[in-house]
Chains A and B, each alone.
Chain A
Amino acid sequence: MTEPGKNTTEVIRSSLARRHRAERRFRAYGITAVSFAVLSVVVLLADIVAKGHGAFQQTYLRLPVTFDGTLLGVTDAADARQVERGDFQALIRAAVQRRLGEPASRAELREQVALVSNGAAYQLMARLRADPGLLGASETLWLAADDDIDTWFKTRGGEEFTGRISERQIGWMNDLAERGDAELRFNRTFFTSGDSREPEQAGIGGAVMGTLLTLVVTLLLSFPLGVAAAIYLEEFAPQNRWTDFIEVNINNLAAVPSIIFGLLGLAVFINFFEVPRSAPVLGGLVLTLMTLPTIIISSRAAIKAVPPSIREAALGVGASKMQMVLGHVLPLAMPGMLTGAIIGMAQALGETAPLLMIGMVAFIVDIPRGFTEPATVLPVQIFLWADSPERAFVEKTSGAIMVLLAFLVVMNGLAVLLRKRLERRW
């Protein structure tokens, strides 16, 4: 092997520098790959946060509102029907005029009214309903501003949004801001309300509720089924062609594009079983199909990781096979199974494609309160907002992405924690 005239040490020494260089290069490739990945994540997150942080705040205007009975057309505030028909927009018109002065023209009047969100009227209605004694009284209220005004107010001083807002409106807003009658406040609506076509009234409350309902169904169905299948296949099933066939199929199913499960759900659950479209129970069923293979595979791996000595010991002291599995293997495999289930759930949480086919990609205002009421989920909400023309939805989209990411981080963190805490090493 050695070249003539050189001993082994010399050969090694001469190649040493080259080999060190090669190793340094190799490491550099690795570091480059990692830094590229980290950089992409940082850029993505920075972009989302930069665009989305505004979603958690909303511009509010302080206006002196008088619950004028004649203006409202309400004589008795305790009468629900009268209040329902009351012209609360007129109260807002009057309040804005009192604050900004009599408008000179119809156009100016419209611009004045356009400062305030058209949801404010419903806010006043709710107040009067809650307290009929307010009729005739005056109070100073913080009312949400319209989305265009809100976008302008947030971009003020920087790259200003002036698209749908007039010079006059900017003047009024500057005046209000100077006197402390316009300010940014925490946007509770974003967390409590359902979808809306008015960005300042839109929230993720409905989508979060729909997600929860859907995931509950998914978990209740896929975890027991997945674990049962894994136990049977690992501990009881004979090794033959059939079980091989099943194993191949489970592995294949785990890699099937999720939209296929949506199509399956459409054909089987909607068309055959007539499960209502857009319902969380339907979404849960479809997502169960999707997460089941993941849970079976991870559960089988967890069961396999339990050392055979434990099984043998259990059987040796006279336990039946079922007692051995339920009393010894399952408790030891449980952390691994739970981790698999959580990761499967996290995957289901971020899914939109299968839901597209079963009507969960829909505009739903009312917050779902049951498993059969129409609902949508967080990623779908993001998808819908990203497609909306209103400018203010850009920040809502990124805001909702931040919430979704937070959910994912919590779930994956929980999986890591469980593994760390409960996992036993042999």
Chain B
Amino acid sequence: MKALFRNRICSLGVGAALALTAVQVAAQSRDYVTIVGSSTVYPFATVVAERFGRASGAPTPKVESTGTGGGMKLFCAGVGTTHPDMTGASRQIKKSEFEQCQANGVKDIIEIQIGFDGIVVANSKKAPQLNLSTKDIFLALAKQVPDGNSEKLIPNPYKTWKEVNPALPDDKIEVLGPPPTSGTRDAFAELAMEAGCKSFAWIKAIKDQNEEQFKGICHALREDGHYVEAGENDNLIVQKLVANPKALGVFGFSFLEQNSDKVQGSVVNDVAPTFETIADKSYPVSRPIFLYVKKAHIGVVPNIEGYLAELTSEKAWGDDGYLTDKGMIPMPAPMRKQVAAIVAGQVAMKGDGLK
């Protein structure tokens, strides 16, 4: 037992040495690309990373799913191998984030739009497909709605879809969707809810006078049990929709694509969510997705150019590329060409006109 204890003292030494080496390694360079950012971009960034790693034999880039905001924070923290090289975003970089980047020495940022992502309102295939307008969506899910034709807001009184729009079935309004921390929720509020909200002229008029108040009215979802926050896991929402054919769910297009035998996307403003309708922007609830690259890291961290070349190749983001297989909606060819030129020339973004 004495010997056992001596071993233990040894292991203490080993442990301390380990901790020290760890500290030293940090000073060394990094031979793999690190990517952080949006969970919407994650499935696409990872596929490209894997394919790039396999084809080139270089270390596979590491991709972390931190959310758009969290990714920006890490990305803009500074230049150097301890900071990530790229961040994915399901919206454009904000002015405040861009300024934060500049303040921390991240001067040159290359903005790459990689494609589009659609958000669908889906239900079980056992139930009939719904035909919703953004106005229906707003009236069914907003915390406050206009009282008839008057310019007054009342707490949302609607209990069934039929009360919202007589053409819809007489089922209880029950929509499962992401929580407020999710980028999908932000985009849903901005694209679907706001569009429906604007169909009331007097609310639209508020936007010019008081942006905050307008957002308060249009983006707030009801909290009386008709909108259910189902967590960030979209698979869970799909499972719940199958179990409850009367419920609707809000999630990304890629999940609809993968589960098309179980769920169907509702028609929104007379347009069904398909590859084509999202690509040509006729489907209203879609958004561009981006990747931001630190120019200062190109050439310092190896393989960044290689990764970007893989991403912007036709076999990846083209009309028949493998990213479309993962549910990303490609940009039109001329736009791809334009973005590819930006990437090839390593043109940093100016930062004008950011919100």
Q: How far is the CA of A41 from the CA of B293 in the complex (A)?
A: 47
Find out whether the CB atom of A197 lies under 8 angstroms from the CB atom of B43.
Answer: yes
Q: Does A170 interact with chain B (Cβ within 8 Å)? A: no
Q: How far is the CA of A278 from the CA of B22 in the complex (A)?
A: 12
Find out whether the CB atom of B22 lies under 8 angstroms from the CB atom of A285.
Answer: yes
**Number of residues on chain B facing chain A (CB within 8 A):** 55
Find out whether the CB atom of B62 lies under 8 angstroms from the CB atom of A122.
Answer: no
Find out whether the CB atom of B260 lies under 8 angstroms from the CB atom of A394.
Answer: no
By secondary structure, the B interface counts as: helix
- The contact of A217 among B4, B18, B47, by CB within 8 Å, is B18
Find out whether the CB atom of B233 lies under 8 angstroms from the CB atom of A386.
Answer: yes
Interface membership of chain A positions 344-388, coded 1 if the CB is closer than 8 angstroms to chain B and 0 otherwise: 000000000000000101111110000110100000000010111
Q: How far is the CA of A234 from the CA of B56 in the complex (A)?
A: 58
Q: How far is the CA of A221 from the CA of B50 in the complex (A)?
A: 34
Task: Across the interface, name the chain B residue whose C-beta is closest to A225.
Answer: B12
- CB-CB under 8 A from A365, the residues of chain B are 49-50, 53, 60
Q: Does B199 interact with chain A (Cβ within 8 Å)? A: no
Find out whether the CB atom of A223 lies under 8 angstroms from the CB atom of B8.
Answer: yes
Q: How far is the CA of A196 from the CA of B46 in the complex (A)?
A: 8
- CB-CB under 8 A from A217, the residues of chain B are 15, 18
Interface membership of chain A positions 186-229, coded 1 if the CB is closer than 8 angstroms to chain B and 0 otherwise: 00000000001110000000000000000001001101110110
Interface membership of chain B positions 305-338, coded 1 if the CB is closer than 8 angstroms to chain A and 0 otherwise: 0000000000000000010001100000000000
Q: Does A84 interact with chain B (Cβ within 8 Å)? A: yes
- Enumerate B1-43 residues with CB–CB distance to A below 8 Å: 1-2, 4-5, 8-9, 11-12, 14-15, 18-19, 21-23, 25-27, 30, 32, 34, 39, 42-43
Q: Does B257 interact with chain A (Cβ within 8 Å)? A: yes
Task: Tell me the smallest distance from the CB of A390 to a CB of chain B, in Å.
Answer: 6
Q: Does A158 interact with chain B (Cβ within 8 Å)? A: no
Known: A363-B46, A389-B254. A281 touches B261 (CB 8 A): no
Find out whether the CB atom of B14 lies under 8 angstroms from the CB atom of A391.
Answer: no
Q: Does B225 interact with chain A (Cβ within 8 Å)? A: no
Q: How far is the CA of A281 from the CA of B21 in the complex (A)?
A: 9
Q: Does B57 interact with chain A (Cβ within 8 Å)? A: yes
Q: How far is the CA of A224 from the CA of B12 in the complex (A)?
A: 6
Find out whether the CB atom of B82 lies under 8 angstroms from the CB atom of A277.
Answer: yes
Q: How far is the CA of A331 from the CA of B200 in the complex (A)?
A: 79
- The contact of B23 among A198, A273, A277, A359, by CB within 8 Å, is A273
The contact size tier of chain A is 35 or more
Find out whether the CB atom of B22 lies under 8 angstroms from the CB atom of A84.
Answer: no
Find out whether the CB atom of B261 lies under 8 angstroms from the CB atom of A162.
Answer: yes
Q: Does B163 interact with chain A (Cβ within 8 Å)? A: no
- The contact of B1 among A334, A362, A371, by CB within 8 Å, is A334
- The contact of A227 among B8, B50, B57, B62, by CB within 8 Å, is B8
Q: Does A241 interact with chain B (Cβ within 8 Å)? A: no
Interface membership of chain A positions 276-294, coded 1 if the CB is closer than 8 angstroms to chain B and 0 otherwise: 1111011011000000000
Task: Across the interface, name the chain A residue whose C-beta is closest to B12.
Answer: A224
Q: Does A305 interact with chain B (Cβ within 8 Å)? A: no
Task: Across the interface, name the chain B residue whose C-beta is closest to A278.
Answer: B62
Find out whether the CB atom of B19 lies under 8 angstroms from the CB atom of A285.
Answer: yes
Q: How far is the CA of A390 from the CA of B51 in the complex (A)?
A: 17
- CB-CB under 8 A from A394, the residues of chain B are 235
Find out whether the CB atom of A221 lies under 8 angstroms from the CB atom of B15.
Answer: yes
Q: How far is the CA of A224 from the CA of B34 in the complex (A)?
A: 34
Task: Across the interface, name the chain B residue whose C-beta is closest to A362.
Answer: B64
Find out whether the CB atom of A372 lies under 8 angstroms from the CB atom of B19.
Answer: no
- The contact of A359 among B53, B59, B64, B252, by CB within 8 Å, is B64
Find out whether the CB atom of B65 lies under 8 angstroms from the CB atom of A282.
Answer: no
- CB-CB under 8 A from A162, the residues of chain B are 261
Find out whether the CB atom of A374 lies under 8 angstroms from the CB atom of B15.
Answer: no
Q: How far is the CA of A372 from the CA of B27 in the complex (A)?
A: 12
- CB-CB under 8 A from A276, the residues of chain B are 22, 25-26, 30, 82
| 13 A-B residue pairings within 8 Å (CB atoms) | A161-B261, A197-B326, A198-B50, A220-B14, A276-B26, A277-B82, A279-B25, A330-B5, A361-B64, A363-B45, A363-B46, A363-B49, A389-B252
Nearest 8 CB-CB pairs, A to B? A163-B261, A274-B26, A331-B1, A365-B60, A224-B12, A363-B63, A362-B64, A281-B22
Contacts A164-B260, A220-B11, A389-B257 known; list 17 others, CB within 8 Å: A162-B261, A163-B260, A163-B261, A198-B50, A224-B12, A227-B8, A274-B26, A276-B22, A327-B1, A362-B65, A363-B42, A363-B45, A363-B49, A363-B62, A363-B64, A371-B21, A371-B22
A interface, CB within 8 angstroms of B: 84, 118, 122, 161-164, 196-198, 217, 220-221, 223-225, 227-228, 270, 273-279, 281-282, 284-285, 326-327, 330-331, 334, 359, 361-366, 371-372, 374, 384, 386-391, 394
